[in-house]
Amino acid sequence: MNIETYLEVLRKEVANYQVPVVDLIAVQTKDPFKVLVATILSARTKDEVTAEASERLFKQGGTVEDLAKIDVATLEKIIFPVGFYKNKAKYLATLPGKLAADFGSKVPNTMEELLTLPGVGRKTANLVLAQAFGIPAICVDTHVHRIMNIWGYVETKTPEQTEMALRKKLPEKYWILVNSLLVAFGQGTCRPVGPHCDRCVLAESCLRRGVKPRKPRKTGKSNDVLRLVSWNVNGLRAVFKKGFMESLVEMAPDVLGLQEIKATVEQLPTELQSLPGYHSFFYSADRKGYSGVVTYTKEKPENVIRGIGDSRFDSEGRVLTLEFSNYFFINCYFPNSKHDLSRLDFKHDFNVRLQEFAEELAVIKSVVICGDFNVAHKEIDLANPRQNRKNAGFTPEECAWMDDFTAAGWVDSFRMKNKEPDQYSWWSYRSRARERNIGWRIDYHCVDKKSRKRIVDVDILQHIHGSDHCPVVLDFTR
């Protein structure tokens, strides 16, 4: 491969991509202190979270002197929810003292000196050298390490090895640039999970070492097939601001069930109150800003059922059923059993009642239950099953109900079609879990046993962002 050609192609390609947050702060502020602080915050944290936390912090602590006035507890509150915020708050609290004592309250500009600062490792130091001082340094983060290996330009096991290999062979004029290019490219196209090889400018020559490309969505779906999409949006107003309408075009659902909308109809923008091209049905919780579901459908349903006939559950706006000529579509947001498992019994009671309700409907015609089930059924359905055996969403009790549910004939459509591991639909916002695909599959389409023949295809749209969940798809015979 010719690395110069690749990087020049990418230079044009990523010109319109979102700029990585630390670069942005470097360009906007030209302030080594702010670049250093933002870089410390950015480790194991999504760019949007880093940008918001940096903005909050710089309002009160944008200089060495101002940062020194903020105590650790306040720093924790300001920078939450960045990854490892407690540790980072401690680093930031000691940073001004260290800078004052050793460097005259200025950020040093050598690798050795930077490495003496709290919370600064090689990656952070390289980024500060490159972005704040324009000193040739190669900042190798997960994207640079991963993509250089995918291309076969290096063959290394760790980012440190990649940095050393690149120092030997990468032309120096690209040292500063390579991080910005590959972070933007790695976030936009060559994603860690399901890279978009189908639309990549390097597709023809890239070796794609160790890559499992994203399966392009089938277009031109047969008219005999309905596309049923489910997505826990974790706040409909929030996801709307993060490109929901563009995602809708890509998902092209016939029926779309959204959970955890956290809003009443009146609180939503008009486009969402009545989605163009769809009939809109809402079921919000009594409590404002909590739970709630909405179903959008191209075809007008014959009947709409709100709830499952039990006020304990129905006050939380969890189940909305649309009846069509030959199937029921149940959009369901199952309760979370909570960290301390205090809602485990409540959740179990809900599950039992929901199953009874669905079975009553299944006597009449096909039933599809979609939604956030808040449980990973088997070990294959989460990245760290052993560590999570006692945690909400994977307790023996929750998995046992899912066993009973499937034993009663309900079909997990995704697992009927796909037996592969690492197929997740939810990732914690912490520790760059999504980037590293440390996730859980807790969003499902389940159908009654008589309808399993109607399952045509399934998919998890991991590349669609905007929530901590991603959409899941069932193509279902009309």
Binding site for ligand SF4 (CB under 6 A): 150, 189-190, 195-197, 200, 202-203, 206, 208, 211, 213
Q: Distance between CA 315 and CA 462 in Å, rounded? A: 31
Using alpha carbons, select from 113, 70, 111, 107 the residue that is nearest to residue 92: 70
Pick 10 or 319: Cβ nearer ligand SF4:
10
Rounded to the nearest whole angstrom, what is the least distance from the CB of residue 150 to ligand SF4 in the complex?
A: 5
Rounded to the nearest whole angstrom, what is the least distance from the CB of residue 193 to ligand SF4 in the complex?
A: 12
Instruction: Give me the sign of the Cα torsion angle 454, 458, 464, 469.
Output: positive
Pick 35 or 182: Cβ nearer ligand SF4:
182
Rounded to the nearest whole angstrom, what is the least distance from the CB of residue 173 to ligand SF4 in the complex?
A: 21
Pick 208 or 452: Cβ nearer ligand SF4:
208
Residues in the chain: 478
Is 475 one of the catalytic residues? no
Using alpha carbons, select from 258, 255, 150 the residue that is nearest to residue 211: 150
Rounded to the nearest whole angstrom, what is the least distance from the CB of residue 19 to ligand SF4 in the complex?
A: 19
Pick 200 or 238: Cβ nearer ligand SF4:
200
Pick 62 or 213: Cβ nearer ligand SF4:
213
- DSSP letters, 105-161, are TS---SHHHHTTSTT--HHHHHHHHHHHH--------HHHHHHHHHTTS---SSHHH
Pick 8 or 356: Cβ nearer ligand SF4:
8
Instruction: Give me the sign of the Cα torsion angle 343, 344, 347, 352.
Output: negative
Considering the candidates 372, 381, 412, 443, report the single residue annotated as catalytic. 372
Q: Is the peptide bond before 81 cis (omega within 30 degrees of 0)?
A: yes
8 Å CB contact between 267 and 274: no
8 Å CB contact between 183 and 143: yes
Rounded to the nearest whole angstrom, what is the least distance from the CB of residue 14 to ligand SF4 in the complex?
A: 12
Q: What is the DSSP letter of 204?
A: T
Rounded to the nearest whole angstrom, what is the least distance from the CB of residue 426 to ligand SF4 in the complex?
A: 24
Alpha carbon separation from 367 to 202, 348, 411, 416 (Å, rounded): 44, 21, 11, 16
Which sequence positions are flagged as catalytic? 372
